Amino acid sequence: MRRNWKRLEISKSWFTAFLHLYAMRPRPPAQSSYRAVLGSTPRPSHPLPSSPRSSSTCSSRRNASSTSRLSAWTSALPTPSSTSSSILTTGRSSVRLADPLKLLGSEMGFLRDNVSSLLGSSHPTLDTIAKYYFQAEGKHVRPMIVLLMSQATNGSSPLYSQIRDRELDKERLRKEGKGLGIDEPINEEDILQDENPSLIKRTTDFLKNPLSAFSSSSSTSTSTSSSSSLDILPTQRRLAEITELIHVASLLHDDVIDVASTRRGAPSAPNLFGNKLSILAGDFLLARASLALSRLGSNEVVELVASVLANLVEGEVMQMKGNVPTNSTSRSGGGGPTPEIFQHYMRKTYLKTASLIAKSTRATTVLGGCGSKQGWVEGEKIKDAAYNYGKNLGIAFQVC
């Protein structure tokens, strides 16, 4: 127990440095990072009008190169040389910080392919739009936090070994062609009527070549093996993928609301495909995230993540209507925002950004066996610590 709390404290300390590094991240010139998804990119027949929210400041944040950001994390740490770890002094103690990408091994490299397999559609247009924003290299901060929290807290619960053995047995049966593992449906396919060609192809390819589990070209199989060695459960890895689906769905909707013409230096989805299809693609991502969520086997996790969807919508409405509560008055003398205005701002920030991070970090501890509903009452403290950590990190991430 003490060992796992120490790991959690180290994770917290690393992210303290991460927030400073992200604020100081380099901003290179914008450049297109999307792959060609339609052969040649068509020019919109009716250019979208400009919007106050799609300002140059917002564009510079979107156009920053994620590759440069990732490579800058470790090099920007206060070390005499570029290594995979660093020393951070916190109060009277010092902890060694590690590059999170090295801590997670190849896990992050397989994330995009795994997510893409969840988004297949029999309709080619929907399939293209749903996967469009995943064609570019992203920061993947939210799933990375979920995976790191999983590493930090797994093994704390006395029931963890039982949970791990159960999940690994499902994966073993999947490799033997006796099930779909984490993708196993609860209802019959003729009832669900949800055809996913990408998932079918992934399963078929694996059954044709079981040795693909040892090949770098098989994202799912390699990722499963990597997760096992990293002490990450298949359900926790899927939860990380679900958080990325929800985040990208919010980007599709935000770009319609913001009338954004670009994202990361490339045409935005509304610019390329139109507002209606972009909204439907975002809805499709949320639907597939909900489907994957239902198969994690935890009602508590479903409740946590489902409430995030309502939070995102409420937060966006708060931002659209402004940050001034109707029943507040300005502080005399122009000394800054009133407590009501600041409270409103923090509430909006939590709903739009921190809610997803906070509730997904709490959810991953639930999947690891923490909490009274999982049979370990003492684990409630770990759940609460994970939630508060994710909440404060999410708010700081947005403020930076």
Burial of 42 from C-beta contacts in 10 A (0-12 / 13-18 / 19+): exposed
DSSP sequence for 99-110: -HHHHTTTHHHH
Q: How many helices (H) and strands (E) does the chain have?
A: 18, 4
Diameter of the chain by CA atoms? 74
Distance CA 94, CA 86 (A): 10
CB 125 within 8 A of CB 277: yes
Element (H, E) at 393: helix 379-399
Q: For the stretch 222-235, what's the b/e string if a residue is b when 16 or more beta carbons lie within 10 angstroms of its beta carbon?
A: bbbebbeebebbbb
Residue-by-residue pLDDT tens, the chain, 400 positions: 554 444 445 445 545 545 444 444 334 444 444 544 444 434 444 443 344 444 444 444 444 444 444 444 444 444 434 445 667 666 667 767 778 888 887 888 778 778 988 999 989 999 999 999 998 877 899 999 999 999 999 999 999 999 999 999 999 998 888 888 999 999 998 999 998 887 766 555 554 555 454 443 344 444 444 444 568 999 999 999 999 999 999 999 999 999 999 998 899 999 999 999 999 999 999 999 999 999 999 999 999 999 999 999 999 999 988 756 666 555 545 667 788 888 999 999 999 999 999 999 999 999 999 999 999 999 999 999 999 999 999 999 988 7
Residue among 101, 157, 139, 128 at smallest CA distance from 35: 128
Which domains can be identified in the chain, with CATH numbers?
Answer: 2-19+48-326+339-399 (1.10.600.10)
Give the predicted TM-score (pTM) of the model: 0.76
